[in-house]
Structure 1
């Protein structure tokens, strides 16, 4: 399965938002700057996250985007669904009914074995993404961060939130 870059970009942006002090936000341009991404493209995807209720947009001092609910309540699936939608990755077109050796209409079972296998795999994939929260990811990132990286990040954020 291939996902758009928007999923990666917004997942990273949401982990950064999880590190913000309560009640503050970052503009989409700052989120894009932090990861050296295209600001317009980041803004478009942040708007999709806002429509899905993953983030909220706040005007004024301390405004910008912030998480709409606690990081422990936002899963990676929430981000994927906001950016990519919830349609299944595998779309069965029931090609068994066509071709020179096609079986009569009522002679095969639905779903076919191939459709069933892909459905099981997608169910497992979605369950795994639903089980991982932004809080989980943020904790893993923080545990691997050096003191210098932590200081650099704090200084950068102070300049943006200041």
Structure 2
């Protein structure tokens, strides 16, 4: 299974948001420079995160993006689903005309286990475990 590059960038972006002090905004230019991305490309990713209700855009000179949800509530699954959607990873198409696909059940159970795990993994835990490693990044973002 493979996630899109957009998911990779979205996960990293959310980690940076969670590492920022509460209420702090960050601009798309700063986030794009940090990840060596085009601001236009990152803006599309941020738009999906806004639509998912995780961040919001604040206009103005000191504007940017900031978290709208509690840091403790944001899971890896939330971000993945904001970017990839919620459709199943596997679709049974064996071409046979019978009731139910024998393989679909196994694949659905595996996907559910993965989703359950990703739902329990919170960015705040990752940030707390790696606070010393993220300090220099947060300092760059809050200049």
Deviation at 1:59, TM superposition (A): 1.6
Alignment pair present for 1:141 and 2:130: yes
TM-score norm. by structure 1 comes to 0.80
Stretches of structure 1 that go unaligned for 5 or more consecutive residues are 98-107
CA deviation digits over 1:31-72, x for unaligned, max 9?
A: 111111221111100000000101111122542111111111
Alignment pair present for 1:32 and 2:32: yes
Partner of 1:52: 52
RMSD, matched Cα: 1.7
Quick check: 1:24–1:62 contact (8 Å CA) kept in 2?
Answer: no
Quick check: 1:75–1:132 contact (8 Å CA) kept in 2?
Answer: yes
Quick check: 2:23–2:67 contact (8 Å CA) kept in 1?
Answer: no
Partner of 1:158: 142
Stretches of structure 2 that go unaligned for 5 or more consecutive residues are none
Quick check: 2:18–2:124 contact (8 Å CA) kept in 1?
Answer: yes
Q: 2:104 aligns with which of 81, 96, 115?
A: 115
Quick check: 2:58–2:65 contact (8 Å CA) kept in 1?
Answer: yes
Quick check: 1:23–1:62 contact (8 Å CA) kept in 2?
Answer: no
TM-score norm. by structure 2 comes to 0.90
CA deviation digits over 1:96-115, x for unaligned, max 9?
A: 22xxxxxxxxxx442x2211
Partner of 1:69: 69
How many aligned residue pairs are there?
Answer: 143
